[in-house]
Amino acid sequence: MRHDDRVSLDPAPPLLDPVSSSRPGAVLTVSGPDRPGVTARLFTALAALGDGSPAVEVVDVEQVVVRGQLVLGIVVAAGPGCDAAGEASLVARLTELAGQVARDTGMQVGVEPAGPAAEVPAGDRPHHVTLLGRPVTPDAVAGAATAIAGVGGNIDAIRRLSDYPVTSLELTVSGAEATALRTVLAAVAAGTGTDIAVEQVGLARRSKRLIVLDVDSTLVRGEVIDELAARAGRAAEVAAITAAAMNGELDFAESLRARVATLAGLPVEVLDEVREALVLTPGARTLIRTLQRLGFRCGIVSGGFTQITDPLAESLGLDFAAANTLEVADGRLTGGLVGEIVDRPGKARALARFAEQYAIPLEQTVAVGDGANDLDMLNAAGLGIAFNAKPVVREQAHAALNQPYLDAVLQVLGFTRDEVLDAL
């Protein structure tokens, strides 16, 4: 299923009166097995209605093909000079036209009065609601649809973004206030095990140009410092401190220094062993490769260590990297750090620094992370995504993903599976 994104720019007053004005309007709906020429036949017939000047003007069009079945909707308004009194006449003429088109094409063609167009209140602009799962179950779709209706929203369109590695559906929803929509859909996501992201419709969604990824438990599986601590015989102690810090129970900078202190005496060669044993999160390469080919600047900002992250960034061809640096003396770790600490506020500062370096506004950035020390960075970005994150992070991020595949981020950004494949 494919839709072309449609962008409407209105620098000047519209040339056409909306259907909600005094002019009559109608909706034509065409459905049936897709075949060449159906759309051309219908619009040719509409054009022939006029006698020297257009009898109708096209107000809106939406077409989709689902597994060979076409659904085409067209909203038309009577030409200038017509008023509401001509609605019955217009519908009658269009009904006759629909019968002709149906006989010629073998499609079903329906006609009904358009009625007044509802005004969309300022602040209640349409939203994209993205459902992701393995699979997306009927109860998840039903729950989302019920929740949307419950806050006054209407589902205007649905399309599938991907069927691999996760199934994702994008709903275009109008008439619902953003906060209310996110609140009710968060409950649906928790109850059905489906990831649901909400973003406002508009150019901003496709204007993102820089992505920052956390490393431990985001770009790679596991926590590097836990691996180092295991080699120092302090695994249990360090794991407890790490968990408390990631859950937001301890100051990250303080907990980092406490954990690093346990590594004193480890030979520097251990860093190479841990780095070589790193396992990327499934979908990480696909995400980075796709976004780079789409013109994104991609990099990492980590509370981990440059001795690990810099070679990782180089191997992935990333544009930038920021992390802490372990102090080394006489070929062994001292248990200390050198340079500025990349903690929770440090991550947000790094995001801002890299965005400025590449002249990209913060609202055009994306940040992905899992721990409490990522929260400032996630909130500073135009879109902050909690990836298999701790509860405190899921609750505060703009969107949350609990799938095991990092490239599911592409669907949150609105890219279809076909677009991903085209970019690879």
Active site residues: 214, 216
Kindly state the tokens that stand for 46.
């509409």
Instruction: List phi, psi (to 5°) of 209.
Output: -135, 0
Positions of E strands within 214-362? 297-305, 320-329, 332-338
CB 168 within 8 A of CB 131: yes
What's the rounded Cα separation, in Å, for the pair 106 and 202? 37
DSSP state of 267: B
Residues in the chain: 424
**Which single residue is written with the structure tokens 């109008």?**
174
Q: Report CA-CA distances (Å) from 317 to 212, 229, 299.
A: 14, 29, 9
Q: CA-to-CA distance for 300 and 93, rounded, in angstroms?
A: 62
Helix-helix angle 235-246:252-261, to 10 degrees: 170
Task: Put residue 324 in one of left, alpha, beta given phi > 0 → left and psi -120 to 50 → alpha.
Answer: beta
Helix crossing, 235-246 with 224-231: angle to 10°? 160
Q: For residue 231, what are its two tokens?
A: 């080699």
* Three-point CA angle 402, 195, 168, nearest 5°: 110
The Cβ-side half-sphere exposure at 296, using a 13 Å CA radius, reads 26
Distance of CA 382 to the CA centre of its chain: 11
**CA 97, 102, 107 angle in degrees (round to 5)?**
140
Helix axes 224-231, 269-276, angle to 10 degrees: 130
Peptide bond into 165 cis (omega under 30): yes
The Cα–Cα gap between 218 and 58 comes to 48
| 3-state secondary structure (DSSP) of residue 234 | coil
